[in-house]
Amino acid sequence: MKFLRYGPRGQEKPAVLDAEGQVRCLSAHVTDIDGSFLAQRDVIMAGIDLASLPHVAEPGRIAEPVARVGKFVCIGLNYRDHAIEAGMPIPSEPIVFMKATSAIIGPDDDVLLPPTSMKSDWEVELGVVIGKDCRYVSEADAMDHVAGLCVVNDLSEREYQLERGGQWDKGKGCDTFGPFGPWLVTLDEVADIDNLDMWLDVNGVRMQTGNTSTLIFNVPHIVHYLSQFMSLQAGDIISTGTPFGVGMGRKPPVYLAEGDVMTLGIAGLGAQRQQVRRWPG
Q: In the CATH hierarchy, which fold is given to the domain comprising 72-278?
A: Fumarylacetoacetate hydrolase; domain 2 (3.90.850)
As a whole number of angstroms, the distance between CA 54 and CA 216 comes to 43
As a whole number of angstroms, the distance between CA 198 and CA 248 comes to 19
As a whole number of angstroms, the distance between CA 171 and CA 168 comes to 6
Q: Where are the alpha helices (DSSP H) in the chain?
A: 35-39, 41-46, 80-85, 158-162, 169-172, 219-227
Whether this prediction's pTM lies above 0.75 is answered by yes
Report pLDDT digits (tens) over 210-247.
999 999 999 999 999 999 999 999 999 999 999 999 99
Question: Residue 181 in contact with residue 65, Cβ under 8 Å?
Answer: yes
- pLDDT tens per residue, the chain (281 residues)? 999 999 999 999 999 999 999 999 999 999 999 999 999 999 999 989 998 999 999 999 999 999 999 999 999 999 988 888 888 889 999 999 999 999 999 999 999 999 999 999 999 999 999 999 999 999 999 999 999 999 999 999 999 999 998 788 999 999 999 999 999 999 999 999 999 999 999 999 999 999 999 999 999 999 999 999 999 999 999 999 999 999 999 999 999 999 999 999 999 999 999 999 999 86
Nearest to 29 by CA among 19, 8, 14, 12: 14
Residue 280 has what pLDDT?
86
Nearest to 81 by CA among 214, 255, 238, 265: 214
As a whole number of angstroms, the distance between CA 229 and CA 224 comes to 10
Nearest to 198 by CA among 271, 111, 106, 99: 271
The full set of domain ranges for the chain reads 2-63, 72-278
Residue 222 has what pLDDT?
98
Q: Which residues contact 174 (CB under 8 A, 6 or more apart)?
A: 103, 114, 117, 120, 155, 157, 160
